[in-house]
Amino acid sequence: MKADVIDGKALAEKIRAELKSKIEKQGLQVGLAVILAGSNPASQVYVTNKITACGQVGIKSFVHYLGDDTTEEQLVKLIKKLNTDKKVNGILVQLPLPKHLDERKILSHINPAKDVDGFHALNAGAMFLGWEDCLPACTPAGCIELIKSTKVDMAGKHAVVVGRSNIVGKPVAILLLNENCTVTIAHSKTKDLPSVTRQADILVAAVGRKHFITADMIKPGAIVIDVGINREDGRLYGDVDFDNASKVASHITPVPGGVGPMTITMLLKNTVKAALK
């Protein structure tokens, strides 16, 4: 058996084309403000990619570059200004922030209706409650779209999420629950992890360790979603040993080209959703 590779790039392009069409047909004016504080090279690349993606679908981007020495007061003042700017539908603060800035405090100042990253406590709570009008966290929402693209009915399936971060693990577990899956969250303290992962009809790996999930940890025929991005010798590796896992799974996402393209696409989708609201 050889797994079907879930092409995140192709799915992302399809969704982006739909968003572009919606913006054009409805004559929407959509704006995304991106704040980059500090000089993190990886963050600079991510911001450039987000700006490019905005341009492709017809979203106007407003970028604010701030220095490493930016104060909390300066950052909060800018966020409050953007909260009231009618041209801005979405606000994104690129993470991680410089060490002297309190991430939680900063993000709490973003208007939840413009919180297109889905990190505000009100959006996280609304997602927890299953409110469809919330702005869900982008990577978890992308995972759900990738699973849905397989056309496998998710209802009643046992989903195992390996990882419990606030950015991926916990929210993707809630979204799977909202899709009527039976959900188990596993993590570094889970006893006999392989016996837990082998129960999964849907396995989401979000641990941040190269090839942590091996083929013998996967139930034959499972759908495997690999959220991991691990850099080694200039190459990207997932949390799943793709070559061997793809001999066991029915569907699997590659790294790169799986979850990655979907994260930015869900950001665009949230921005359009915020504009329509």
CA angle 274, 276, 277 (to 5 degrees): 65
Secondary structure (H, E, C), 80-139 = HHHHCCCCCCEEEECCCCCCCCCHHHHHCCCCHHHECCCCCHHHHHHHHCCCCCCCCCHH
φ, ψ dihedrals at 175, nearest 5° = -65, -35
User: Which one from 117, 201, 226, 241 is the annotated catalytic residue?
Assistant: 117
User: Which one from 20, 68, 85, 94 is the annotated catalytic residue?
Assistant: 94
Known catalytic membership, residue 117: yes
How long a stretch of residues is the chain?
277
User: Which one from 50, 157, 210, 273 is the annotated catalytic residue?
Assistant: 50
Known catalytic membership, residue 50: yes
Give residue for tokens 């039976």. 182
Residues 224 and 197: beta-carbon distance below 8 Å: no
Known catalytic membership, residue 56: no
Q: Give rounded-to-5 percent helix, strand, coil for the chain.
A: 40, 20, 40
Give residue for tokens 């953007």. 82
For the annotated catalytic residues, the residue numbers are 50, 94, 117
